[in-house]
């Protein structure tokens, strides 16, 4: 049975220009899983108040991270999928498993990729939202987009949806290994922060188990590193809107600000971000580092071409742990997660 694999993520504007950013934000923020108010009220606020300003501020942020090849998220996820494809080709005859990258909003769209898999003769589709910990948004937004795409093209093949892999042993080992590679040493009072994307408290009250999965990941990473769970600080970043109290806490910027007068190193890791994106490439040097080291530590225009590690390492106190990104190790993790689910289906 020929299998198509869709590795899906939130998405990116087509360019860092305001009009393209506005088009992306309009699609993203009107998603029922994302909007924060009833649709008519939210639509009015979005079109009249939010987008006219945010398209310019967000465009400036995207320009800071944009690469010559395009959006870092789109480019690196595509590269990761190419590595995962190579791993499957090594397992079986080339073409038995077809791996493609797709986005809920923007390009490549889930609809276009699903149509390509149908045209290639796939009889089964695996959907993997590339978020280790599942949340109502964005994980369910990806699944919703996939279901709409099926209806749009009139194709409903046998489907496997992998909605999380937060406790996968290879994933946990990879995260712990990337932390060790920075020289993390708890014996010299290094403080390890695992910062995850925040979710609205209303989602948790509605039954979202995201924070439970986050805590499980953190405990497993601590065990792999050989430290006690309380040696790891779990916090949350990237809230949207002025009401921070409506989101899960503690917020990462608050945790870091509370340590500003200390001298220990902070080893900073984002296990929930599989591939670098705006929330890592921009928010970490512009929000997290200044929270710890003061506003003077924020990067200037002259640092745009530097690596994220160089932009963050202004005093040696803030040590950024790179995302797994488009690496061979990450490809082995994703290949293993998908292969395990295919095996379980065969044995069922």
Q: What is the Cα–Cα distance from 303 to 307, expressed in whole angstroms?
A: 8
H-assigned helices in 32-154: 39-45, 51-65, 72-91, 110-119, 139-153
List C-alpha distances in Å: 34 to 31, 140, 142, 184, 202. Answer: 5, 10, 11, 36, 12
| Residues 242-274 pLDDT 10s | 789 999 999 999 999 999 999 999 999 999 999
Least confident of 20-24, 162-166, 223-227, 297-301: 297-301
Q: What is the Cα–Cα distance from 318 to 68, expressed in whole angstroms?
A: 28
Please say whether the beta carbons of 306 and 312 come within 8 A. no
| Residues 174-230 pLDDT 10s | 999 999 999 999 998 999 999 999 999 999 999 999 999 999 999 999 999 999 999
Planar angle of CA 188, 190, 194, nearest 5 degrees: 155
pLDDT band at 38 (very low <50, low <70, confident <90, very high): confident
Query: What are the boundaries of each domain within the chain?
Result: 169-320
For the domain with range 169-320, which CATH number is right: 3.40.50.1400, 3.20.20.370, 3.10.20.310, 3.20.20.70? 3.40.50.1400
* Span 14-19, average pLDDT: 97
| Residues 62-99 pLDDT 10s | 999 999 999 999 999 999 999 999 999 998 776 699 99
């Amino acid at each position: 049975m020929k299998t198509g694999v869709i590795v899906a993520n939130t998405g990116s504007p087509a360019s860092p220009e305001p009009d393209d950013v506005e088009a992306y934000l309009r699609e993203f923020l009107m998603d029922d899983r994302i909007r924060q108010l009833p649709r008519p009220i939210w639509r009015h606020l979005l079109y009249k108040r939010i987008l006219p300003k945010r398209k310019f501020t967000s465009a400036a942020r995207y320009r800071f991270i944009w690469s010559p090849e395009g959006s870092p998220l789109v480019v690196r996820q595509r590269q990761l999928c190419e590595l995962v494809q190579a791993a499957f080709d090594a397992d079986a005859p080339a073409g038995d498993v077809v791996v493609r990258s797709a986005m809920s909003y923007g390009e490549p769209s889930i609809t276009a990729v699903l149509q390509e898999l149908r045209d290639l003769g796939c009889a089964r589709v695996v959907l993997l939202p590339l978020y280790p910990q599942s949340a109502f948004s964005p994980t369910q937004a990806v699944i919703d987009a996939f279901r709409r795409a099926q209806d749009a093209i009139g194709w409903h093949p046998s489907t496997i949806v992998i909605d999380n892999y937060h406790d996968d042993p290879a994933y946990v080992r990879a995260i712990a290994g990337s932390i060790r590679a920075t020289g993390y040493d708890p014996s010299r009072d290094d403080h390890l922060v695992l910062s995850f994307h925040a979710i609205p408290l209303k989602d948790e009250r509605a039954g979202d188990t995201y924070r439970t999965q986050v805590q499980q990941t953190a405990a497993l990473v601590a065990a792999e590193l050989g430290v006690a769970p309380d040696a790891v600080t779990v916090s949350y970043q990237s809230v949207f809107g002025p009401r921070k109290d409506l989101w899960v806490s503690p917020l990462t910027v608050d945790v870091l600000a509370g340590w500003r007068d200390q001298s220990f190193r902070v080893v900073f890791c984002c296990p929930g971000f599989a591939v670098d994106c705006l929330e890592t490439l921009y928010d970490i040097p512009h929000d997290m580092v200044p929270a710890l080291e003061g506003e003077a530590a924020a990067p200037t225009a002259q640092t745009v071409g530097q690596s994220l590690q160089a932009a963050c390492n202004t005093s040696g106190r803030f040590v950024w742990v790179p995302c797994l990104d488009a690496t061979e190790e990450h490809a082995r993790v994703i290949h293993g997660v998908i292969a395990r689910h295919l095996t379980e289906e065969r044995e069922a």
